[in-house]
Homo-oligomer: A and B are copies of this chain.
Amino acid sequence: MANLNINIGRLQLKNPVMTASGTFGYGTEYSDFMDLSRIGGIFVKGTTLRERQGNPYPRMAETPSGMLNAVGLQNKGVDYFINHIYPTVKDIDTNIIVNVSGSTVEDYVETAEKLNSLEKIPAIELNISCPNVKEGGMAFGTSCLSAAQVVSSVRRVYKNELIVKLSPNVTDISEIALAVEAEGADSVSLINTLLGMAINIERRKPVLSTITGGLSGPAVKPVALRMVWQVAKAVKIPVIGLGGIMNAADAIEFMLAGASAIQIGTANFIDPTVSIKVVDGINEYLDRHGFQSVTEIIGALEI
């Protein structure tokens, strides 16, 4: 039994396996199937300053080895989270991390500020793939300038661990990673979904109500892994890798590429217990290869 503990900055994980925002509810949805305390952390749903109804139906399309979603950040807002959800999740014996989303820099800042005070929320994950409504809807995370802007503003008010989640829909993701590192991000997570589309040819209409949506699942894994490798080479802060992880082998690929921890998203839908299996599989791999600690495989790719 190797040592699976890992630290992401000040965030202490019992193992590097966490679940991705928007794919694991508030964790409680999965408690019938697994012991939530066995994983390193849970990234809860995208949370915004005010309640959002999200996008109209249909919001989902299956694609080859993946899916498109257009949920559109449906959530009841940060105050509801604090008053009604936080009490039900704060005693889960793992890290509960809130994914913070917004439409303006001010939104992010206010939401982060409110979460600052919650004792059992050790970190937030800034989802900078949201459209910046003041800048014509371009996602914050697609330019160094707007990414830096939102991170520096949030950094000023948020004292705990600040994870910035990068958008993959960019020419050079390490450039964005460097920009947010410079503004005080404690770590970065990647990737969010790739922008995709599907068409119903019989009806000659887009499948999703929003025309385009976010692609996730194993289809994106090669792209995600490449980006994690590029970012891990570029920055000094820890990197959390995700995108298409279905099993322990996939998770280990991300760690070898330089991720200190990983998140599992879409795979939860196919096997709600997959995260536990990934913990066990990583442990088995470490033992088989004679590693004492999971830290030994981070970035251990031989080029």
Hey, which bits of chain A sit against chain B, CB under 8 A? 61, 63-66, 68, 142-143, 169-172, 194-199, 201, 203-206, 211-212, 215, 217-223, 225-226, 229, 244, 246, 249, 252-253, 256-257, 285, 297, 300-303
Contact = CB atoms under 8 A, between A and B. Distances in A.
Contacts of A197: 222, 225-226, 229, 257
A191 B232 CA distance: 27
Nearest to A198: B222
B199 A256 contact: yes
A212 B205 CA distance: 36
A217 B223 CA distance: 13
Nearest to A139: B171
- What are the 8 A-B residue pairs with the smallest beta carbon separation, nearest first? A196-B222, A64-B218, A219-B219, A197-B226, A65-B65, A64-B65, A199-B253, A201-B252
A169 B175 CA distance: 14
Contact of A195 (B63, B68, B221, B223): B223
B201 A256 contact: yes
Given A64-B244, A170-B171, A199-B253, A215 B204 contact: no
Dominant SS among interface residues on chain A: mixed
B65 A199 contact: no
7 contacts: A64-B217, A64-B218, A142-B171, A171-B171, A196-B222, A201-B256, A205-B302
B196 A223 contact: yes
Contacts of A170: 170-171
A226 B168 CA distance: 15
A195 B252 CA distance: 20
Nearest to A222: B196
A64 B244 CA distance: 9
A170 B206 CA distance: 23
Given A169-B171, A206-B301, A303-B211, A63 B196 contact: no
A223 B213 CA distance: 10
B205 A301 contact: yes
A195 B256 CA distance: 18
Nearest to A167: B171
A66 B199 contact: no
Contacts of A253: 198-199, 201
A193 to B, nearest CB: 10
Nearest to A288: B202
A66 B219 contact: yes
